[in-house]
């Protein structure tokens, strides 16, 4: 049975809880002087990144190595895709070398599902188009859970996700995960960058929500995905939706400030995050390794109950 | 089914027996190691943790240096040899906050069976440092070893069939 991690909704609340519990074990491994365990010896993980990435690619690679899995990293720019080989043929070629999991980032929404049709290996969605980025959502949930010591869920937690919601797969996956765990999520963005459904869960007035939140989640303004003038000027965007010194001063000390990276300093975040009491942006990166270890171990390290008789204790 | 299992359940040790076994093992550990200094008790998650804590309590009571006995726990699930063969079910997270380099580590578990968990726990402990020596204490040895592993301290040798389930708590030992 092949299992994959494609979206938060397919994972479900039980799956999210399972991954977050496993991440505690991985975080303990990562705190050791020698942060490596033999759990996935003999497994091979292939990273397929069709879009630029620093932290997600390195995070998955580190996660696989700390579990003793072998890694292959596929650089699209140096591949036979440039000679006209189709994606399907490329996948089948790599698969023939023996791969247990593909980690894929692709500019087209749905690409990981398509990949799943072509391979018997597990597929992990590392970001597809505007659609989903489930491991980012999981590491965000883990970061909040650890920072606020909320193991039992996020009932009553007030979260504002601020910025370029429209283009953001992070906003989609992270808001879905927050809601799955019981938090109240408000999307804050210019009208041009909000989803078409306007309700009490979305607003264009950041100052209106800032006094009543526990988590401020800033999104990156994705200028590379904008083909039209959705934002008048960067300065106006910062004035209305950026975390400016004036807004930072209004935040309660308990309020967590999060950002998926990479940050546009001076745009969505116009203060030095290191000076914010609730800044957990660095922890998000660190936790990303633990959470991706948990995801890989959950997919590749588990089997069915019946395949091994007895031997559970002893 | 549940009722049938209930009727087959057999209590082989009571709470007093378990308490006395822990006291005896605590004495044996201090005797063998000439006191408790340098001894670190490491319970294997999850069943060995309460046993390690109970042993530490006894050692503290009976030995002058016992107050310094260190207690930790180790989760062996990332070191098992059956990863990928059965569902992932790690227990609680390892807690080894002291250095084990040069220490006398006593691994502690409730039940010794195939020896595979102990093998995994030995590997896990080795990732934290290099103990001077490692000993093994178990409350129940039920036989059926699949690896060359033997305990240094045993509460009770209990012949079982591999179909039976052995449950150990501070309230006693039950075979079902």
* Chain B interface includes A72 (CB < 8 A): no
Q: What's the ipTM?
A: 0.85
Is A55 considered catalytic here? yes
* Chain B interface includes A301 (CB < 8 A): yes
Closest C-alpha among A209, A206, A150 to residue A183: A150
Is A83 considered catalytic here? yes
Contacts of B72 in chain A (CB under 8 A): none
Residue B159 structure tokens: 């012949």
Per-residue pLDDT tens digits for A50-97: 988 889 999 999 999 999 999 998 877 777 777 888 889 989 999 999
**Confidence (pLDDT) at B6:** 54
Closest C-alpha among B80, B63, B154, B171 to residue B122: B80
**pLDDT bucket at A2, cuts 50 / 70 / 90:** low
Domains of chain A: which residue ranges? 8-133+286-307, 134-281
**Confidence (pLDDT) at A314:** 47
**Confidence (pLDDT) at A33:** 87
The CATH number assigned to the domain with range A134-281 reads: 3.40.50.1370
**pLDDT bucket at B170, cuts 50 / 70 / 90:** very high
**Confidence (pLDDT) at A176:** 96
Q: State yes or no: pLDDT of A309 exceeds 50.
A: no
HSE (CB half, 13 Å, CA atoms) of A212?
Answer: 8
Which residues of chain B approach chain A closer than 8 Å at the C-beta?
Answer: 47, 75, 77-79, 82-88, 90, 93-94, 111-117, 123, 127-128, 142, 144, 162, 166
* Chain B interface includes A196 (CB < 8 A): no
> Are A303 and B90 in contact (CB < 8 Å)?
no
* Chain B interface includes A15 (CB < 8 A): no
Q: Helix, strand, or coil here: B2?
A: helix
* Chain B interface includes A298 (CB < 8 A): yes
Per-residue pLDDT tens digits for A286-296: 999 999 999 99
Q: State yes or no: pLDDT of A241 exceeds 90.
A: yes
Q: State yes or no: pLDDT of A135 exceeds 90.
A: yes
Domains of chain B: which residue ranges? 15-164
Is A32 considered catalytic here? no
Give, in order, the Cα–Cα distances in Å from A307 to each of A278, A313, B84: 46, 16, 9
Q: Tell me the mean pLDDT in the region A201-214.
A: 94
**Confidence (pLDDT) at B105:** 98
| pLDDT > 70: percent of chain B | 95
Q: State yes or no: pLDDT of A271 exceeds 80.
A: yes
Contacts of B123 in chain A (CB under 8 A): 38
B15-164: CATH topology is Rossmann fold (3.40.50)
Q: Helix, strand, or coil here: B35?
A: coil
- Give φ, ψ of B74 to 5 degrees: -135, 135
Per-residue pLDDT tens digits for B123-167: 999 999 999 999 999 999 999 999 999 999 999 999 999 999 999
Q: State yes or no: pLDDT of A37 exceeds 70.
A: yes
Q: State yes or no: pLDDT of B87 exceeds 90.
A: no
Q: Tell me the mean pLDDT in the region A271-277.
A: 92
The CATH number assigned to the domain with range A8-133+286-307 reads: 3.40.50.1370
Closest C-alpha among B101, B100, B121, B104 to residue B31: B104
Q: Helix, strand, or coil here: B147?
A: coil
Of A131, A133, A166, A167, which residue is the catalytic one? A133
Is A166 considered catalytic here? no
- Give φ, ψ of B83 to 5 degrees: -65, 135
Per-residue pLDDT tens digits for A165-197: 988 999 999 999 999 999 999 999 998 888 877
């Amino acid at each position: 049975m092949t299992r994959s991690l494609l979206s938060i909704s397919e994972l479900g609340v039980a799956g999210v809880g399972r991954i977050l519990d496993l991440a505690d074990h991985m975080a303990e491994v990562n705190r050791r002087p020698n942060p490596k365990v033999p759990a996935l010896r003999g497994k091979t993980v292939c990273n397929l990144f069709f879009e630029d990435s620093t932290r997600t690619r390195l995070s998955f690679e580190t996660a696989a190595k700390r579990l003793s899995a072998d890694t292959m990293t596929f650089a699209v720019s140096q591949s036979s895709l440039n000679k006209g080989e189709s994606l399907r043929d490329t996948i089948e070629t790599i698969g023939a070398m023996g791969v247990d999991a593909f980690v894929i980032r692709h500019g087209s929404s749905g690409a990981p599902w398509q990949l799943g049709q072509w391979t018997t290996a597990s597929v992990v969605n590392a970001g597809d188009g505007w659609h989903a980025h489930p491991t980012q959502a999981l590491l965000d949930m883990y970061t909040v859970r650890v920072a606020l010591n909320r193991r039992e869920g996020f009932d009553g937690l007030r979260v504002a996700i601020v910025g370029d919601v429209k283009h953001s797969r992070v906003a989609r996956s992270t808001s879905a995960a927050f809601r799955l765990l019981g938090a109240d999520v408000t999307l804050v963005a210019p009208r041009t960058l909000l989803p078409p459904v306007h309700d009490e869960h979305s607003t264009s007035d950041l100052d209106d929500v800032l006094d009543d939140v526990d988590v401020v989640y800033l999104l990156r303004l994705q200028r590379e995905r904008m083909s039209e003038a959705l934002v008048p000027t960067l300065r106006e965007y910062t004035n209305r939706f950026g975390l400016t010194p004036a807004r930072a001063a209004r935040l309660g000390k308990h309020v967590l400030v999060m950002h998926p990276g990479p940050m546009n300093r001076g745009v969505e975040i116009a203060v030095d995050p290191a000076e914010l009491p609730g800044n957990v942006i660095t922890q998000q990166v660190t936790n990303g390794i633990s959470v991706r270890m948990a995801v890989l171990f959950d997919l590749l390290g588990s089997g069915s109950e019946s395949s091994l008789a007895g031997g559970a204790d002893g | 089914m549940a009722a049938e299992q209930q009727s087959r359940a057999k209590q082989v040790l009571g709470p007093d027996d378990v308490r006395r076994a822990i006291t005896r093992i605590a004495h044996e550990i201090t005797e063998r190691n000439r006191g408790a200094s340098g001894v670190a008790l490491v319970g294997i998650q999850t069943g060995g943790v309460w046993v390690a804590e109970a042993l530490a309590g006894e050692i503290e009571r009976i030995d002058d240096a016992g107050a310094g006995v260190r207690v930790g726990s180790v989760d062996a699930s990332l070191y098992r040899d059956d990863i990928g063969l059965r569902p992932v079910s790690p227990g609680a997270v390892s807690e080894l906050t002291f250095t084990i380099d040069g220490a006398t580590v006593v691994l502690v578990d409730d039940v010794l069976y195939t020896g595979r968990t102990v093998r995994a726990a030995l590997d896990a402990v080795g990732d934290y440092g290099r103990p001077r020596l490692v000993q093994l204490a178990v409350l129940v040895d039920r036989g059926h070893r699949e690896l060359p592993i033997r305990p240094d301290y045993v509460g009770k040798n209990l012949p079982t069939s591999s179909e039976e389930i052995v449950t150990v708590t501070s309230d006693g030992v039950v075979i079902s």
